[in-house]
Structure 1
Amino acid sequence: MISTEVQEWTLEGVLDELARLDSSMHDRHFAFILGSGASFSSNIPTGKDLAQRWLTDLHLRECRSGESVNDWSKTSGVISGNITFETAAEFYPQIFERRFRGDRESGYAELEKHMDGKSPSLGYTLLAEIIQETRHKVVVTTNFDNLVADALSMHAHQSPLVVAHESLVGFVRPQLRRPLVAKIHRDLYFNPINDHDGVSNLEEGWKNALKKLFQYFTPIVVGYGGNDGSLMGLLNSLELGDIAGRIIWCYREGSPPPKLAQEVLLKHDGIKVKIPGFDEFMLQLAAKLVPDFDLNRIAERTEDLGKKSADRYRRQADQLMKALAKGTQDQLNTRQVMAQSVKPRESWWAWELEAAAQTDPDKQDEVYKQGLAQFPESSELFYNYALFLSDKKLDIASAKAMYEKSLELEPDDYDAIQAYAELVFRHDKDYEKAKGLVQKMLRLDPDNADALAFYGSILAAQGDLVEADSYFRRGLKLDPDRVGNIVEYADFLSDYRKNYTDAEFFYKRALELEPGNVTALGNYASFLAFQSKKLKEAKFFYDRALILAPESPLLKDGYKMLLDVMRKEKVRAGRASKAQHKDNEV
């Protein structure tokens, strides 16, 4: 018996079904079909809101009889049949055409005004989390906004393939390496499709691409009114079995699926479900689908990403300032511009830039002290002062005190912990102190390849070679192309394990990845000179390294030692040759 009424499930039943499909059918994927209702909580007007605003504009312009906007709408001629203020969303494209007739660009500008600068709501954040952490990576949308891509970017997830024009539909395929956002009415900046013909008819390329897509993806419709003929026409044209599973149509109280959507759901044996809103639905769905789902973890990760981005930006500016210290006049002018580009002495970073602008270490020291007197709670300024004291002033005791102060103010500052650990390990040889600090780094980030390699170096220095080897290998497994860690492992194999064959393999691997890496060149040259006794090859790599870093004390010392060995070898060879010559004469 053919049903004449669309099935309606409870929200709990739908969420349970989606969780079951996710766990038991690994060849089944979900595709999220989003309309303007999904963007409402991001402060972007819905299609209905815009249609009603524009209808009000038309009423203001054209109504001379004094009728209400609702009464005037019925005879306005916007469409051939009746239209009311309440049903305006159904006639969005016709209203857009009439409102912006003769000046379509002003219509696009109106859309840009409503969408520019809007941030993704919680629902989009959670959708991004689902896309990143599960196999459900497709969004099909009639929206012009960029909220899906923005949410993925904000949380440092994988960037999506955004197909915002029909000329790009060849890139839409069921087997995807990255998330897909299919914008079937184009992007805000690509002449978005708003006219009646465009909204009513889906371009042929989109029809073919989406038909193939829906054979593998179950559509979950959220915030979509179903008032355009393009997507609805495609769904209605599909045969029974052309869609993987059943369509799930989410609607809010007072906005049930329209007649055409009801027909599509009946045809494909779909389900409708009432939801409290886009954000609320995504929250409950993420809790079902995302492994170890934790809202606070998402917030902390996002906050950490923002801090790291700001820190990286400041650090790069600092490095640029310092790199320009002994340059040409143009470079000195650039330093001056940088120093003047931050309001003087109004933030800890302003003090940092002022310190970096100094060429006299004593003046730098004085600037740091003044800055810390004004900002005694700035962990960042204490950290930068510690770096200055250890690297420039060579005042190790004071540097350690500044690191301690920085970490007292910000105990989980990863960079400060790492720099402090490096100092006590390399300079003080305080392996236990360094070990404790790196253990804290690993608690903060267990899969950090650099921390794992650092821990391996400490264990090696303590004589625990087997455990050290395991930490080096764990780090290289996580990040096999991290050149610094590859060189460090090669040094370990050479210096501690006397495994020269494997050591040379890793030195060469590092130089394959970065032929101009000074540390790799210098350490390999040292290995060739003093372990493998390949003096000519060693000189070749020292020469390359010194071209790149002619002032490096380590390189100059190693090169000098190599030349001494080569001279002694030449003298020894000369004596041996003379002795052989005498023997031959006898």
Structure 2
Amino acid sequence: MDKKSLLDIINKNRDEKFDKYCFILGAGASVASGIPTGAELVKRWIPVIKDRYSEDDIRIWINETIPELDRNNFLNSMGLLEKGESDSKFNPAKYYSLVYKKRFEYVPDEGYTFLEKEMSGKNPSCGYAILAKILENETHNIVITTNFDSLTEDALFIYTNKKPLVIGHGSLAGYIRPDIKRPIIIKIHHDLLFNPRNTSDETAALDYSFKEGLRLIFKFYTPIVIGYGGNDGSLMNFLKEVELRSIYWLSRGEPDSEIIDLVNKKNGFVVKIPSFDEFFIESTKSFGVSIDEILNFLKESSAKREEVFKDQVEKTIRSSTGSPEIIEILKSVKDPYIYGLISYIEKDYNKKEAILIDGLSRFPDSGELMATYAKLLEDKNEDKAIELYDKALILQPNNGYIIGSYAIFLFRIGESPEKIEKLYERAIKLLPENKDFISSYATFLHHVKKDTNKADIFYKKALELSPNHAVSVANYANFLHHTGLEIEKAEHYYIKSINLEPNNSAFLGDYAGFLLYIKKDYEKVEEYFIRALKINPDDPINLGNYACFLQEIKKEFDKAEDYFCKAIRATKNNPVKTSVLCNYASFVIKVRKDIGKADKLYKECLDRYPLSVEYMIIYGDFLISDMKDYGKAKSIYEKALQVDPLNAKLLSNYAKLEIEIGEFMRAEELIEIAFKGNMGKKIKGELEIKLELWFFRYAIFFKKYPNAGENVKKLLDDGVRSNGKVFTGVVIKSEKLNHPDIVHVKKLAKLISEEEQFIK
């Protein structure tokens, strides 16, 4: 049979699932992997035997062990034939076991050591890689081999995720079963490490336990023989006696008559092949194996192993006390990633920076190390951090860690949303299981893109990847809190995040904010703020939020101002500074009545974030309520609409302004956009905004919307309020328009507006 016919049979069988194949491998299968054949070893051992023994001793040995038919051939192979004829095609490997026994007869252990050295450090050839993928697929999952090497199992470990059952000793043969799904490797001459069988006595017959196991296998599997010359007595004799469905004997040359007779008796076929590797490359289609899949698996598994190892080192480092011994040991590692982790151990900023500068002098082309340095500089020198991130991306443009870290940084400092989103998307494509980047992207979608539906998907994805990742848990709690979607669920996640990291001041402060604005449990609020500030007394967010609590709830104004000032000092150049300044501006207006100072503070916020719709809304409200500068407020709102034309809160506030100045047509247009543009979206304060919009329709556009009052009542009955809003101007305009029930309008205006909240 030719090779193509065999491959066609295998291919047809793959579709019809008619037959299962097992593979019998001999020494010829391992040649391309650098392991010498029996013939090569015999050639190397013969000179040693000739040096060690006299010619007479050798002749006696040959006469006693080599059959008469082959004595002249063997003498000729040793250069000792004096007269008589010999066969030039004679292969001395036929008597490998006898030569091995003679070579190592005085020190048998030396033979094991020799073979172990010969097989050490050898890597499976490409044929073994393809064989491993075939074995992985469960149908043709058995290898029977006379070899001692571990090339088959090594290939399975390298090229697949399957762990084989290795029967490396006769005592394990009872585990041979044809119904096992995992790959099975049966070493009939034992594994190299388990007393391998080399001598003629040892390989003359197959163990009974192996025979029974192989009989079971051959009931269900047709053997394909590759690289096996039939030179041992054990397997060859067993193949002669066992019942086979058929057999395919693959050979580079013409097999000897003994093999041909066996194949014919078993209704089998001899198939000529160029080599072990070439046959398996050509067989990929027939066995349903893709070389592309092998290459991709190698890339992914190598990267995964490196990632797992580095993650473990990182976890160890992050939990380390920062001992000098650990730092010195890690400094000797020639890897920039590990070097970057060393900087994490160091607590002192200047020493940390020195470590990174030293690392970059050693690894100037490491974009990852450069990004680590950029991360250190984020709060100290934004421009330098951006410069380093850009350089890092030039060095390693497809490094997900660099891209994701850069996205988080640009998000914090309020850079272009389009640029940030592209970076997040690239990072997550490269690192689809990085929970930090996914959770941060969700926060970006929530706060910047205002896409709460998509944000919800990514928050949940981060939690699916790691349900106990404290940052993802806390981020999701904040999301549920600020969208008002599932308040009870939000509290569950806040508590879970604190249980996971009880000393995380950010988590404690977030929960304090939730207790303040949602639960109104003021005793607990102070308890959690104090706990958070005890852990980190310089946390600007907690300092600022605690100041708001002291101002609004405890009415301790001097203490509140003291904490506002502490928060501003603590922010330095941190992006958090803007929200602290904004809240302080509100304090300055309400408590100190200093409109001029408040104006300066609000302008500073907008100077820092000129495209922030949130700050434009706040400043616009300030211009209306405190400075009575309606024209400037209108221009601020128009600018904000250019940035976010569907922002419901902005549209509601702008509509209110237009009503108060008598621009009813524009107000109605803005209300309509607010309703249509946000239908079905989960937005912060959605119900409160709907309440305002329906109230505007009831108070001003009552003729066009006669049922508006019913919608207002329903929302009020559900407990919805628009805290802190003043609707005096709207009521005045309603009265001028001769509303049929102005008393009810005034009553609703008071009900809707209850109390004020701060930015959270």
When normalised by structure 1's length, the TM-score is 0.73
Matches within 5 A, 1:89-488: 89-132=93-136, 135-155=139-159, 157-241=161-245, 246-254=246-254, 256=255, 258-290=256-288, 292-294=290-292, 298-299=294-295, 301-303=297-299, 305-306=301-302, 309-310=305-306, 313=309, 317=313, 320=316, 323-324=319-320, 326=321, 331-339=323-331, 341-342=332-333, 348=336, 352=340, 359-373=347-361, 375-390=363-378, 395-425=381-411, 428=414, 431-444=417-430, 458-461=444-447, 462-469=449-456, 487=473
Between the aligned partners of 1:463 and 1:153, the Cα distance in structure 2 is: 47
Q: Could you tell me which of 26, 31, 56 is aligned with 2:47? A: 56
CA distance in 1, matches of 2:296, 2:129: 13
> How many matched pairs?
523
**Equivalent residue letter for 1:398:** K
For 2:375 and 2:160, locate their aligned partners in 1 and report how far apart those are by CA, in whole Å: 29
* Structure 2 gap segments, 5+ residues each: 78-89, 555-760
State the structure with more CA Rg: 2
Distance, in Å, in 1 between the alignment partners of 2:202 and 2:500 is: 55
Question: In the aligned structure 2, how far is the partner of 1:205 from the partner of 1:494?
Answer: 67
Flag the 1:368–1:471 CA change in 2: closer, same or farther, 3 A.
closer
Deviation (angstroms), 1:19: 1.9
The verdict on how the C-alpha distance between 1:520 and 1:49 changes in structure 2, with shifts beyond 3 A counting, is farther
The letter for the 2-side match of 1:384 is T
CA apart distance, 1:65: 6.3
Higher RCO by CA contacts (8 Å cutoff, separation 6 or greater): 1
Structure 1 residue 174, shift from structure 2 partner: 2.6
State whether residues 273 and 279 of structure 2, in contact with CA within 8 Å, keep that contact through their aligned partners in structure 1: yes
Question: Greater shift after overlay, 93-102 or 165-174?
Answer: 165-174
Match of 2:34 among 43, 62, 67: 43
Partner residue, 1:578: none
Secondary structure of 2:223's partner? strand
Q: Deviations over 1:392-439 (max 9, x none)?
A: x55454334323222211111122223323333456476533431233
Bigger CA drift: 438-447 or 181-190? 438-447
Contact 1:487 1:520 (C-alpha < 8 Å) held by counterparts: no
Q: CA deviation at 1:95?
A: 2.1
3-state SS in 2 of match to 1:77? helix
Structure 1 residues 190-234: Cα deviation after superposition (integer angstroms, max 9, x where no partner)? 111223243232222222223223333332222222222333333
Q: 1:517 to 1:196 in 2, by over 3 A?
A: farther
Instruction: State percent identity of aligned pairs.
Output: 31
Matched with 1:498 is: 485
For residues 284 and 538 of structure 2, the distance between their equivalents in structure 1, rounded to whole angstroms, comes to 55
- Greater Cα offset, 142-151 or 347-356: 347-356
Across the aligned residues of Structure 1 and Structure 2, the Cα RMSD in angstroms comes to 4.7
Q: What is the Cα deviation at residue 237 of structure 1? A: 3.1
Which amino acid is the alignment partner of residue 31 of structure 1?
C
Show CA shifts across 1:286-320 (max 9, x none). Answer: 244345542xx644653564455456656655665
Instruction: Report the Cα distance in structure 2 between the residues aligned to 1:293 and 1:41, rounded to whole angstroms.
Output: 18
Does the Cα contact within 8 Å between 2:141 and 2:181 map onto a contact in 1? no
Pairwise CA distance, 1:362: 1.8
Distance 1:158 1:351, change over 3 A: same
Distance in 2 separating the partners of 1:501 and 1:259: 83
Q: Summarize the Cα distance change of 1:527–1:348 in structure 2 as closer, same or farther, 3 Å threshold.
A: closer
Bigger mean CA offset, 487-496 vs 281-290: 487-496
Q: Which amino acid aligns with 1:160?
A: P
Q: Is residue 34 from structure 1 mapped to residue 25 from structure 2 by the alignment? A: yes
CA contact (8 A) 1:129 1:286 kept: no
1:486 positional shift: 7.8
User: Is 1:78–2:74 an aligned residue pair?
Assistant: no
Name the CA distance, whole Å, in 2 between partners of 1:465 and 1:335.
44
State how far apart, in whole Å, the 2-side matches of 1:175 and 1:455 are. Answer: 47
SS in 1 for 2:24: strand
Alpha-carbon distance change, 195 to 155 in structure 1, aligned in 2, over 3 angstroms: same
Cα offset for 1:28?
A: 4.3
Cα-to-partner distance string for 1:236-257 (whole Å, 9 max, x where unaligned): 333354xxxx422211135x2x
Q: Which amino acid aligns with 2:198?
A: N
Provide the rounded CA distance (Å) in 2 between the counterparts of 1:78 and 1:153: 41
Partner of 2:5: 13
Q: Provide the residue aligned with 1:577 in structure 2.
A: none
Please give the per-residue CA displacement for 1:28-53, whole angstroms capped at 9, x wherever unaligned.
Answer: 44322222111111111112222332
Q: One-letter code of the match for 1:117?
A: G
381 and 355 in structure 1: CA distance in 2 versus 1, 3 angstrom threshold: same
Q: 2:112–2:192: 8 Å Cα contact kept in structure 1?
A: yes
Report whether the alignment pairs 1:22 with 2:10: no
Checking the alignment, whether the CA contact within 8 Å between 1:78 and 1:98 is kept in structure 2 is no
Paired residue secondary structure (2:4) = helix
Instruction: Give the letter for the 1:12 counterpart.
Output: K
Amino acid paired to 1:19: N
> Matched residues in 2 for 1:133 and 1:442: separation?
31
Kept after mapping to 2: 8 A contact 1:43/1:118: yes
Compared with structure 1, are the counterparts of its residues 380 and 308 closer, same or farther at alpha carbon in structure 2 (3 Å cutoff)?
farther
Q: In 2 relative to 1, CA 213–75 (structure 1 residues): closer, same or farther, beyond 3 Å?
A: closer
Q: CA deviation at 1:112?
A: 0.7
Please list the CA deviations of residues 484-520 of structure 1 after superposition, one character each: whole Å capped at 9, or x if unmatched.
7984896456654724677789999x99xx9857799
Report the 3-state secondary structure (helix = DSSP H, G, I; strand = E; otherwise coil) of the residue aligned with 1:181: strand
Question: Which consecutive unaligned segments of at least 5 residues does structure 1 have?
Answer: 1-7, 570-586
Greater mean deviation of Cα atoms: 280-289 or 435-444 = 435-444
2:620 matched residue in structure 1 = none
Q: Residues of 1 paired with 2:437 and 2:53: CA distance?
A: 70
* Partner of residue 5, structure 1: none
Deviations 1:122-150 (A, max 9, x none): 22222233334674333222211111222
Distance 1:73 1:52 in 2: 20
Deviates most, 517-526 or 27-36:
517-526
The aligned counterpart of 1:582 is none
3-state SS in 1 of match to 2:166: strand
Check whether the contact 2:3–2:273 (CA below 8 A) recurs between aligned residues: yes
State the Cα deviation string for residues 347-367 of structure 1 (Å, max 9, x = none).
757965775675532233244
